[in-house]
Amino acid sequence: MNDSKVTRIGVLTSGGDSPGMNAAVRAVVRTGLFHGLEVYGIMRGYSGMVEDDIFKMESRSVANIIQRGGTVLKTARCKEFFEYEGRKKAYENLKKRGINGLVVIGGDGSFNGALKFSQEFDIPCIGLPGTIDKDIAGTDFTIGFDTAVNTAVEAIDKIRDTADAHDRLFIIEVMGRDAGYIALHSGIATGAEHILIPERKTDIDAVVSSLQEKEKRKKLVNLIVVAEGDEFGGGEEVAKHVKAKLPNVDTRVCILGHIQRGGSPTCLDRLIASRMGYHAVESLMTNRYNVMVGIQNNKMHYTPLENAVKAKQKINEEWMKIVKILAS
């Protein structure tokens, strides 16, 4: 790895948007400027690198964005970056501006691209975990997760009011194609009777038996929170199975969808994004390269990018035990 001093850095957001990305961009820009670096914003993730959609950023470029959801740098998927020629074009666009450090805010796919790019063209890269799914190992929180789960909790609380008024079973689908953290946290926080996640095999017959037992006890208000990536295919499929076995139970499905990705970030997301963005620049300046900046036990934690893209955050068994006991 080139140990020459980083003087100009680029920052981009890649993959799915998540609340708090703007706070991270703001921290990178202002920390970089404080240390006398030039900072460049790259639009639409790796697409902007390939297409030369890059601009110089000043302190005012990030004024009044910390409270905004989404990302002012926008994000997109870039097929061209998957090919060597596309990455070479991206490198040439950075090189002509003298950019010799890169901060990538995104998930494991984004980190994969950063790692490959860095290995091929000797550009130091730092990854910041920006994803609502909280599925990246090496950090207790990812930027956007807290906002997404609070959005889900607020929605599920409102749905429970309707469920209670009508004695209904509500099956609520939340985001999480490969990771069940939003379902797990929002389900526990809202007192859901069942939480179905992709990390655990769903025993749908056991769920039905439990609902039958609750029906005998005249407990007619039930919530099932299911991650979209559950093996049954999400809320609609779970509902079909339940309705087939319990035709007399008034069942409704509610899919929360993309509202979980948007909205003003919570205080926690703003704080961790700001802290991570600051340490991303500090890492580049102290020759700590090709790592993901995370937070574990309230301390900064640096995970090599090759480990961050291989390892997935695992569900703690204690959570599953808590779910079972509290829902009984």
pLDDT of residue 146: 97
Overall pTM > 0.85: yes
pLDDT at 218: 65
pLDDT of residue 202: 79
pLDDT tens sequence across 187-220: 999 999 889 988 888 778 888 888 777 766 666 6
89-137, pLDDT tens digit by residue? 999 999 999 999 999 999 988 999 999 999 999 899 999 999 999 989 8
Write down the pLDDT at residue 219. Answer: 62
Name the stretches of the chain with pLDDT < 50.
none
For residue 294, the model assigns a pLDDT of: 96
Spatial distance between the Cα atoms of 168 and 272, rounded to a whole number of angstroms = 39
Q: Which domains are present in the chain?
A: 8-144+265-310 (3.40.50.450), 145-261 (3.40.50.460)
Burial of residue 214 (number of CB atoms within 10 Å: 0-12, 13-18, 19+):
middle
Annotated binding site: 16, 26-30, 77-78, 107-110, 131-133, 160, 168, 175-177, 191-193, 217, 219-221, 228, 252, 258-261
Q: In what order do the strands lie in the sheet with 194-196?
A: 194-196, 222-227, 169-174, 251-255
327 with 193: CB under 8 angstroms? yes
Q: Indicate which residues carry an active-site annotation.
A: 133
Please tell me the predicted confidence (pLDDT) of residue 216. Answer: 67
* Whole-angstrom distance, CA of residue 159 vs CA of residue 183: 15
Could you list the residues known to form a binding site for substrate, using ranges.
131-133, 168, 175-177, 228, 252, 258-261
320, 203 Cβ separation under 8 angstroms: no
